[in-house]
Amino acid sequence: MKKVLLFIAICVTGIASAQTIADARALGVGQTVTVSGVVTNGSELGPIRYLQDGTAGIAAYGTTLNSVQRYDSITVTGVLLDFSGLLEISPVNSYTNHGPAVITPTPLQLGITSAGEVHESKLVQFQNVTFVQTGSFATGNSTVQVTDGVNTLDVRINGTTNIDGTAIPTGPITITGELGQFNTNYQVVPRDLNDIVPYVAPDKEINVLINGVDVLTGANYFVGAATTLNVTIENLGVNNLTVSGHSFSGVNSADFTSNITAGTVAGGGSGAYTITFAPAGTGSRFASISIGNDDADENPYIINFEGVGTNNLATEPTSNPTGLSFTNVKAYTLSGTYNAGTGATKYIVLWKNGSAITGAPTDGTTYMRGDVVGDARVAYVGSGLGFTPRGIIANQNYYFAVYAFNGQGGYENYLTTAPATGNVSSTGSNIGAYYNGISSSSPTLVTDLEALINPHTQITYFMYKQTMMNEFEIKDTTNGQSYVTCVYSGERKVFDDPFDWTQTGYSREHTYSHSWMPSYPADNPEQPEYTDQHHLYPTNLQGANTPRSNLPLDDITGSTIYTFLDCAVGYNGSQLVFEPTASQKGNAARSIMYTAVAYNFPLTGNVNADKQNVQTLINWHFQDQPDNYEIARHEYIYDLQGNRNPFIDSVDFACYINVDNNTYVAEGCNSNSIQELLDANMVVFPVPSNDKIYVQVNGTKIESYEIVDMKGSVIESVNDISMDVLILESSDYNAGMYIINVSTPEGSTSQKLIVE
């Protein structure tokens, strides 16, 4: 049984939604939306509310909605978020309850194979299905399945309803509920026992399939360039269904013909027909078929068709979007909006870091998020007027170009002239007044920082997937897929959304090992040190996380006993250690130092933690200073938890604090150890040289330099630079020996260079 969902009016004078729910769903995750709709559940499903209008459904999440009752009309504002595959407005920033709706939604009756994204968060119903399981529903939350005899669908039983613990019905049933999603599986979520009732076969019930796929009445079907469509008219009722014929309407109705004729379809039977499409022109071709029948609530049965003409392309839009602008610009995210183009149904947003985009999309090509287009990549494809690209990092200048197009499935027609263009720079560190009153010259520095860091907002370990993974770590790659980077090994794991720990084989790694914590075990109940996202990173479980275990982090100087890409387990002297990829060494050091100070967990005195070499942490901290990825991650966690990692914000804090015992080091960065580190990290090569001379101080930048000959005369002096590697031409100097003095943010050092 297939029901068309009629438009649901909010029925409150003066209420106007800023956008339909379908418009909101078309936008990119991270966009702020305002929608109005009728809520189809109450507190029986907890703090989530499913609402729908005449265009689509969407979930809204937040304890602020706890007073909203089933079938209230509400307007809600919040941020679009993907929660394990379910598109939600979360967090809800504000809402208005307009009271009970005058018109309440009728459940949309679907077949199991029609449970998909287009109907997500709607109130739906599945008839003539049976439970796979027998006995009783488990107490609390559980998932079971129903089947139509061929296909199965998950049923999510919420422990807050009156369903859990009751007997599972046997025999055919009709089940009603919200259409949700968890990871790759769609699921129906019944609200109470009244949503699960014995199935009663209808008198007569029409259902239409095109090329074997259910098409609901009122739905759109993309024909493309197909010349023949196979049509099946089913009768899901018990008595004969009378079909009275068909008619086509619309601007290109003459392009479509069918052999559907008057007749009857027996109860439980079906009839086979065809529709022929013969376009008489170019561009997009539109028509609707109306199938007359005596189903009481689906007469006529209407399907809207879109085909393409003899040029095998949709119609090109008249004009591209305009007014590209940017909001919510931070170190880790930004959003863009634009005005609609003329004669356009969809848009593709390209982006590039560092310079203007010169490429353009190609007609007849279907692009997905992450695909390469010329010298740019795809940030968004859809019908929405806003986007939030994934993978923003700090201190970058991003360029964007937005093109309008029509069509799908290889029949796209892009307007490639005069796209909407613009650029915006992501921000950097947002320290502000956070450290007011904190002084590295104070002997109470350690306790001052501990008090500053705490208390902070605690995010549960479970929510790490939703926060750090979905909203920061996961990035786009080609073919609409995503990838996550293992911070220990450098592996880039490609997967199909939505992200799932088990399917990707990844885990949340405590850089400051859980077993190092004096509070171990700190996960039941969860303690702040266990869930603190400043030291939690995604890693390959078997390849990197398990081999690291609770080993100290250090450079391997002896034999190696295990490797996985860029990480390894081996010996430093007689100590078994884990060495991560070079790009994570400084990050890991700062995470460990942060945890030691934040929770007063000095490394000495713990049988596991005291194996960690503090000097290695100091070395790594200076050799691999915060890059723009780490700064962006830091700013995201700051917005999330409300606290900062001092060792990212200031190089000096690592000099004044000995996390081995959390004591204050009065000499700070003027200590011999820091100077020795700078001296050891300065590299000049080749020596001698008769071509180019390379100068670098590993882990920091060169801000100025001078070259002094052996008589003490300065022959060259350059200031106000910021270079990872200084490249000199030996031909600029006479043969002989020189001293090159360089200045860095951490201090000055020098080395000899020889010119042949």
Tokens of 421: 């263009």
How many angstroms separate the Cα of 55 from the Cα of each of 52, 180, 285? Answer: 7, 17, 23
Contacts of 525 (CB under 8 A, 6+ apart): none
Q: What is the maximum span of the chain, computed from C-alpha positions, in angstroms?
A: 109
Contact between 210 and 228 under an 8 Å Cβ cutoff? The reply is no
Whole-number Cα distances in Å, 8 to 37, 54, 189, 384: 8, 5, 21, 22
Distances (CA, A) of 249 to 112, 246, 302, 303, 572: 31, 10, 10, 11, 79
What's the CA gap between 159 and 139, in Å, rounded? 7
User: How far apart are alpha carbons 147 and 157 in whole angstroms?
Assistant: 16
CATH class of 678-755: mainly beta
> How much helix, strand and coil, in percent to the nearest 5, is found in the chain?
20, 40, 45
The model carries a pTM of 0.83
DSSP of 119-175, one letter per residue? Answer: GTTSEEEEEEEEES--SBPPSSSEEEEEESSS-EEEEEE-TTSS-TTSBPP-S-EEE
Q: ∠ CA(445), CA(450), CA(454), 5° rounding?
A: 150
Is residue 301 within 8 A of residue 290, CB to CB? The reply is: yes
As beta bridge partners, residue 413 has 406
pLDDT of residue 91: 87
8-state DSSP, 2: -
CATH architecture assigned to 21-198: Beta Barrel (2.40)
pLDDT of residue 209: 95
The two tokens of residue 665 are 């080091």
Q: How far apart are CA 364 and CA 524, in angstroms?
A: 55
Residue 114 phi, psi dihedral angles, 5° rounding: -90, 0
Distance CA 179, CA 187 (A): 6
Q: What is the DSSP string of 587-630?
A: HHHHHHHHHHHHTT--STTSTTGGGS-HHHHHHHHHHS---HHH
Q: What is the pLDDT of residue 657?
A: 95
Of 484, 473, 339, 335, the closest CA to residue 398 belongs to 335
Q: Residues in the chain with pLDDT < 50?
A: 1-17, 672
Omega of the bond leading into 688 within 30 degrees of 0 (cis): yes
CB 702 within 8 A of CB 726: yes
Neighbours of 415 (CB within 10 A): 23
Tell me the one-letter amino acid at 733. Y
pLDDT at 19: 85
38 beta partners? 52, 73
Do 249 and 304 touch, CB atoms closer than 8 A?
A: no
Contact of 282 with 243, CB cutoff 8 Å? no
What per-residue confidence (pLDDT) applies to 13? 28
Is residue 16 exposed (0-12), middle (13-18) or buried (19+ Cβ within 10 Å)?
A: exposed
Same fold, 322-425 and 678-755: yes
Please report the pLDDT score of residue 343 as a whole number. Answer: 97
CA distance 289 to 275: 10
Interatomic CA distance for residues 514 and 550, integer angstroms? 8
Output the CA angle 292-294-300, nearest 5 degrees: 35
Vertex 555 angle, CA 550 and 559, to 5°? 90
Taking only the tens place, the pLDDT of each residue in 275-311 is 999 999 999 999 999 999 999 999 999 999 999 999 9
The answer to whether the beta carbons of residues 624 and 581 sit under 8 Å apart is: no
* ω into 169 cis (within 30 of 0): no
Distinct helix (H) and strand (E) counts, the chain: 11, 48
What pLDDT score was predicted for residue 5? Answer: 40
For 206-308, CATH gives: 2.60.40.10
Element (H, E) at 706: strand 704-709
- In angstroms, the Cα distances linking 725 to 250, 685, 698, 702, 716 are 67, 11, 9, 8, 17
Distances (CA, A) of 337 to 26, 31, 366, 398, 425: 13, 9, 22, 15, 16
**What residues does each domain of the chain span?**
21-198, 206-308, 322-425, 445-670, 678-755
CATH 2.60.40.10 fits 322-425, yes or no: yes
Each residue's pLDDT tens digit, 2-39: 444 433 333 332 333 458 999 999 888 888 999 999 99
In this structure, how many other beta carbons lie within 10 angstroms of the beta carbon of residue 403? 24
Which pLDDT score, from 0 to 100, does residue 644 have? 97
Length of the chain: 756
Give residue 11's pLDDT: 34
